[in-house]
Amino acid sequence: MNNGKGKGAVNMDNDKILEIYIQKVDKDQSELKQDMRDSEARIFDKVSESEERIDKKFDKIQNLLEKHDQKLDNVMNVVNNKMDENRKFMWGIVITILLSIIASIGVIVATYQSSIGLIRDYIVK
């Protein structure tokens, strides 16, 4: 079983095999660590790209909302101006109607008094 090799030679062969195995495990571990680093770098790059795309989309949406707000503000200003003009016009109509009613009442009172005066003059004569 020894094949002419002594116990020291077998230990030496075992040590050599163990050393080669350890070197292979170290190499595999180094390659695995490098693969992990490369994978992490790719993932980081993809996440960064996704964040940039999301930020760009968010900025676009925010700009659209700001433009929409500005358009709404402009429309509200136009509506408010028209309402103010309409309110002034309505007050003008109300004042005109009130003055017309007062003038009509005045004319009715004057006509009534004039008619009574004519009737008195007619009766008295």
Q: What is the pLDDT of residues 1-17, one digit of tens each?
A: 445 455 656 677 888 89
Distance CA 76, CA 68 (A): 12
- The domains of the chain are located at 1-88
Distances (CA, A) of 96 to 82, 84, 89, 93: 21, 18, 11, 5
- pLDDT on residue 1: 43
| pTM score of the predicted model | 0.49
Distance CA 104, CA 113 (A): 14
Two tokens, residue 102: 């007062």
Model pLDDT for residues 60-110, shown as the tens digit of each residue: 999 999 999 999 999 999 999 999 999 999 999 999 999 999 999 999 999
Distance CA 19, CA 27 (A): 12
Distance CA 96, CA 90 (A): 10
